[in-house]
Structure 1
Amino acid sequence: MKNAIVIIVFLFVMKPILPVLEYVLNYDYIVKELCENKAKPEMKCNGKCHLMKELAKASENDTPVSSDKKVSHSEFEVLFIQKLTSLEVVMLNFPIQKSINAKYSDSYFYENSKPAFHPPTV
């Protein structure tokens, strides 16, 4: 069952590529027999005219059926409102800390006991 689904999905994905694949496989036949510009070799068409026709047919068949119908879409915004019956205001009291943390220590110090280095004069 899974294999069948994979094959079907693969075929749907590969459907737009089929005209190109057919062009590659039948290149010699298309250039010699089906090319519309055989009389004009300076155009170097090499059957690309036939490929373009086949790609146009494939894309024409891919248009959805509902594209012929005019469909109007409308959007509505739904808003639900609930009336407030009561409003409670709660006062939160946070204790104010007035004491300073005595355990804080400033361990940074600057020692300026060494004199600044001066290069020798010449």
Structure 2
Amino acid sequence: MYRRVLALLLLVVLNVSLFSKWGVVAYYHVNKAYIARVLCENRDQPQLHCDGQCYLAKKLQAAEEQERKSTAERLEKLPELVLYCAEVLPCFTSYLLLPQKQSATPHYQGSLFRSPIADIFHPPRA
């Protein structure tokens, strides 16, 4: 039970920034009469039937601008991650593509490339 509540709480906390526009719209619908009467720019011109939509548009634009700014700040703070290394160590480059000595029997060539380990590790000689 506690795990489900905790998971739901964490899900809501992580998505609060996504609900910022919805919060502005919900605030507008709950307080529509007050906004139209007091905060609307066109309250002196009732023929426009604005009913506070100018206030809603300003708040939505401000929320979008704030979200854009916070996203840009987060992207600037992200560390740079290098996924590959372009340099090859020079001590191993000589062993990468060395062709093997030709075999005396033409039907069996063995492997095409010689391993550097085979030159070092071999059975003891009698």
Identity of aligned residues (%): 23
TM-score normalised by length of structure 2: 0.51
Give the superposition deviation at 1:87. Answer: 6.5
d(CA) in 2 for partners of 1:32 and 1:5? Answer: 38
More helix by share: 2
- Highest relative contact order (Cα 8 Å, sep 6+), 1 or 2? 1
How many residues in Structure 1 have an aligned counterpart in Structure 2? 87
Map of 1:78 onto structure 2: 86
Spell out, residue by residue over 1:75-98, the C-alpha distance to the aligned partner (whole angstroms, 9 max, x if none).
Answer: 999376x6521169x87xxxxxxx
Map of 1:52 onto structure 2: 57
1:2-17 matched pairs, under 5 angstroms: 2-17=7-22
Give the superposition deviation at 1:29. Answer: 1.0
Q: 2:73 aligns with which of 66, 85, 90?
A: 66
Consecutive unaligned residues in structure 2, runs of 5 or more: 1-5, 108-126
TM-score normalised by length of structure 1: 0.52
Consecutive unaligned residues in structure 1, runs of 5 or more: 92-122
CA RMSD of aligned residues (A): 3.4
Give the superposition deviation at 1:28. Answer: 1.0
d(CA) in 1 for partners of 2:63 and 2:100? Answer: 66
Structure 1 segments, 4+ long, off by >6 Å, are none
